[in-house]
Structure 1
Amino acid sequence: MNKPANPSPALTVSIESFSYRKGLPAPPTEHGGGFVFDCRCVPNPGREERFKALTGQNQAVADYLRERSEASAFELHCFALIEQAVSSYLERGFNSLEVAFGCTGGQHRSVYFAEKLAAKLQSVKNVTVKLSHRDMPR
């Protein structure tokens, strides 16, 4: 992702995973800018017994999803759109962006993509990342 030419105020990107069974995340309190991505178009590792007790933070689940072309395509397209928004928000001096990933149970796919995006954005200058998993089992 290209860095903006001029230093800009910090942008906080709040990333949340959630379960559609428990409803959409609450709207942001700021200007309302952001995205909600539906991960249910990606194969569900939770349908396989070996993954049921795991989450998108576990390496076995990450490996399963990384091997699926649907997951790679989903990541490519979602992250490109988010990167475009981050660059624009930084250039325009916006201070917050909300990104949410939802799946059926809020445990596997949404957690995986939220974690991947958070890791990717950690290195972007003037961006602070806040990551939360609303419905992931504790």
Structure 2
Amino acid sequence: MQETLQLVIVTGLSGAGKTVAIQSFEDLGYFTVDNMPPALVPKFLELLSHNQQESYQKVALVIDMRSRLFFREWLDVLNDLEKEEGLEVRILFLDATDTELVSRYKETRRSHPLAPDGRVLDGIVLERELLSPLKNLSQHVVDTTTLTPRRLRETISEQFGNSGETAGFHIEVVSFGFKYGIPLDADLMFDVRFLPNPYYQADLRQKTGLNQAVYDYVMEQKQSEDFYRHLLALLEPIIPDYQKEGKALLTIAIGCTGGQHRSVAFAHRLVEALKKDWPVHESHRDKDRRKETVNRS
């Protein structure tokens, strides 16, 4: 039996938060498209439903006044979509007061799309009038006047996420070798080069930190256990705060010299601890790079 495709139409006043909204839907696992012409939507949904390589159950499309020439067509398209079987359509309309919208435009120094050479307020008034039929059709109307971007993300997660889902927050734990450069996307980075190096054990040199013998060698060191306990004590209380601040991905990087032994073992042990409470993905950037015999410390 074919699953129902969930389609969310994201629309509303320019400056009311559609960019934040569409990023939030991406974090919730939606396939997102910005400003698609309405005539293409039925064919687009048909292609998604017949895609054999990937399954799409959640899609979010943005409508705004950049597509003014096509806007009137949207009402007809939405009416047709409502009749489609296997398709659940919901409309999210983002609004804000005229005063707040004018203030946001002044902060960004942008002109309004409907008044590029005139007053911002004139564009807002015209846009509000044009969008009123779409607002009347909307099942979800969110006033963003007093909402921070973080609170808007939380609101979207509450209304469109699965039960218990929080904007797709997850943790990436990556091991790496300093000799190959630090990961540019790391939020937190820890150095375990102070630990004894299994590289200098002939029987361990060609293995990695995922090998039990290497793992045991690293973790049986007294300084390893002390460091691990302090690392957990640091991470456990601060991870929830990263989530509360609206961060979708927290990347924790652990490095040693070559990224083959110590950092791999530590990253793996950390993942095993964190996955009890958080969605965690484990990766080892340099684990399988060619082994070298110099500059190992």
Report the Cα distance in structure 2 between the residues aligned to 1:17 and 1:11, rounded to whole angstroms. Answer: 20
Instruction: State whether structure 2 residue 280 is matched by structure 1 residue 129.
Output: yes
Task: Return the TM-score normalized by structure 1.
Answer: 0.82
Q: Which amino acid is 1:17 matched to?
A: S
Indicate which of 175, 179, 184 corresponds to 1:21: 179
**Cα distance between partner residues in 1 of 2:189 and 2:256:** 11
RMSD: 1.7
Bigger shift: residues 42-51 or 80-89: 80-89
What number of residue pairs does the alignment pair up?
Answer: 125
**Which residue of 1 is the match for residue 206 of structure 2?**
53
Contact 1:42 1:74 in 2 (8 A): no
Q: Which structure's CA Rg is the greater one?
A: 2
Give the AA of the match of 2:190. Answer: F
- Which stretches in structure 1 are left out of the alignment for 5+ residues? 1-6, 29-33
Q: For residues 40-82 of structure 1, give each alpha carbon's deviation from its aligned partner in whole angstroms, at most 9, with x where no partner exists.
A: 0111111111110111101111111221011111111112212
**Which residue does the alignment assign to 1:116?**
269
Deviation at 1:112, TM superposition (A): 0.5
The equivalent of 1:3 in structure 2 is none
How many angstroms apart in 1 are the aligned matches of 2:206 and 2:284? 16
Deviation at 1:130, TM superposition (A): 1.6
3-state SS in 1 of match to 2:207: coil
Please, which runs of 5 or more residues in structure 2 have no aligned partner?
A: 1-163, 290-297
**Larger relative contact order (CA 8 Å, sep ≥ 6):** 1
Q: Percent identity between the aligned chains?
A: 38
* Stretches of 4+ aligned residues off by more than 4 angstroms: none
Code of the aligned partner of 1:38: D
